[in-house]
Amino acid sequence: MTSSMIVPSLLIDGRLLTSQYGVNAFQVPAGRHKVELYAQWMRRYGQADLDVEVGEGGVAEVFYAAPLHQFTTGSIGLTKQHRKGGLFMATFLALLFAMLLAGVYFANTLG
């Protein structure tokens, strides 16, 4: 629920760069580069990193998916990534909904 509001922080070779949702293009020299991403809300979460080899005049596409909650890592790779945390979020929301229904039921039963 928080990842859609938070723009991930991007580091290439340890240097913090301004990023945004969608396509981000950065020029780097040919060679091996470390790409790191994370989100920061109440704490740092969604950490993921990848070593990428960029050829002379080449392009390396890197895909990152922030998790659906703050209690797991992100996903990073050279192909489109899935967001982690779906089962946790579904379980949490189901429990929350069940507690709400139980509260309404008992309020109507006892009152």
Residues 6+ apart with CB under 8 A from 73: 45, 46, 47, 48, 67, 84
Euclidean distance between CA atoms 19 and 25, whole angstroms: 9
Which residue type does 60 have?
A: A
Euclidean distance between CA atoms 42 and 30, whole angstroms: 36
Count other Cβ atoms within 10 Å, centred on residue 73: 15
The string of pLDDT tens digits covering residues 9-50 is 999 999 999 999 889 999 999 999 999 999 988 889 999 999
Per-residue confidence (pLDDT) for residue 88, from 0 to 100: 85
Nearest to 54 by CA among 86, 20, 78: 78
Residues 60-87 have a mean pLDDT of 92
DSSP assignment letter at 16: E
Residue-by-residue DSSP string for 89-102: HHHHHHHHHHHHHH
The string of pLDDT tens digits covering residues 73-83 is 999 999 999 98
Predicted confidence band of residue 4 (pLDDT cuts 50, 70, 90): low
Residue-by-residue DSSP string for 63-87: EEE--SSTTS--EEESS--PPS-HH
Residue bearing tokens 């489109």: 80
